[in-house]
Amino acid sequence: MTVELAFVGAGGIAQWQHFDTVEAMDDAEVVGICDVDEATAESAAERFDAPAFADHHDLYDETDPDAVFVCLPPFAHEDQEIAAAERGYDLFVEKPLALSAEKAREIDAAVEANDVLAQVGYDWRYSAGVERAREILGDRAIGYVDGYWWGGVAGGEDHWWRHAEYSGGQVVEQATHVYDTLRYLVGEVERVSAAGSHRIEDAVDFSDATSATMTHENGAISHVSTTCAAEDGKTGLEVVADGATLEVGERRVSGVVDGEEVEESFDRNPYRAEVETFVDAVATGDPAGLRSPYGDALETFELTLAVNESIDTGEPIALRE
């Protein structure tokens, strides 16, 4: 079976990763491309010998795909996913899900009501480093995790990423990968208390450094720090568990496990892995391989919103009573 795919949003991650993956697949075909920037849509569509559209409703009407990739900035989510779900199209949605919990919940309700498959682009869940860490940790009790996303400012001058009203800020748009991996390794967060500062980077209108401390339902505690004012970048998590202390990245795991040193690195492209898994799920109708279904990703999204809320109010936020 050849899975027919349509793209809503043809810049950013679609150009950077997904087009290459889909182009290399024998069992997938791009049947339409939509972007509000007509030149971007036409350029991508020419690559796949597919029609270009400026409106996603026209894309759906004229192509009737098996699945839709929604690759949009947070502020641009309107009814793209809902209209696709109502037509029975499976969905691959890039993170973050939206700007508000209300919009993301509306999309989640449409996914559930129409019984479509919906995967979110948390590629770290498909990374060999995180996969190996889960194998090592197994049933071990995890006591503490320290996560971090340190780097610079994304985008060019006055890019949407630099404005909280369009991106949600670094926690929501970028460091969400760390928060999601935290949930994936440790479990659900019960309570979060966060602080932010804006002292260094004038190119953004949100905190250029944040610190969030969390308690989990299972009793573990964790911390995530972010900054977009760093001269050098690093991302990852450090885990302290019963008999294991690990440093985890997308393509690496190191540390000490049961008294033995561990140092492993991997070549797997997690972006490719997540797309291939999604296309296979669409072809078979079997969601078992989807590691980041929409409803689960919604939990991560609401956690990042709670971090921002705690920064804004100066109060801890309970996610579960």
Spatial CB neighbours of 200, under 8 Å, sequence gap ≥ 6: 208, 209, 229
What's the angle, vertex CA 60, arms to CA 10 and CA 160, rounded to 5?
30
Q: Which of 55, 102, 60, 109 is nearest to 82 (CA)?
A: 109
Minimal CA–CA distance to 175: which of 122, 221, 218, 132? 122
Distance CA 71, CA 22 (A): 14
What confidence score (pLDDT) does residue 307 get?
98
Instruction: Quote the CA–CA distance of 74 and 98 in Å, as a whole number.
Output: 4
Report the CATH fold assignment for 124-266+301-318: Dihydrodipicolinate Reductase; domain 2 (3.30.360)
pLDDT in tens, 234-267: 999 999 999 999 999 999 999 999 999 999 999 9
Q: Flag whether pLDDT at 321 surpasses 70.
A: no
In CATH terms, 3-122+272-291 corresponds, of 3.50.50.60, 3.30.2350.10, 3.40.50.720, 3.30.300.30, to: 3.40.50.720
Instruction: Judge if 3-122+272-291 and 124-266+301-318 fold alike in CATH terms.
Output: no
Main-chain phi, psi angles of 250, to 5 degrees: -60, -35
Domain ranges for the chain: 3-122+272-291, 124-266+301-318
β-strands 28-34, 52-53 pairing: parallel
Is it the case that residue 1 has pLDDT exceeding 90? no
**Residue 320's pLDDT band (cuts 50, 70, 90):** confident
Distance of CA 82 to the CA centre of its chain: 19
- What is the separation, in whole angstroms, between the first and last Cα of the chain? 46
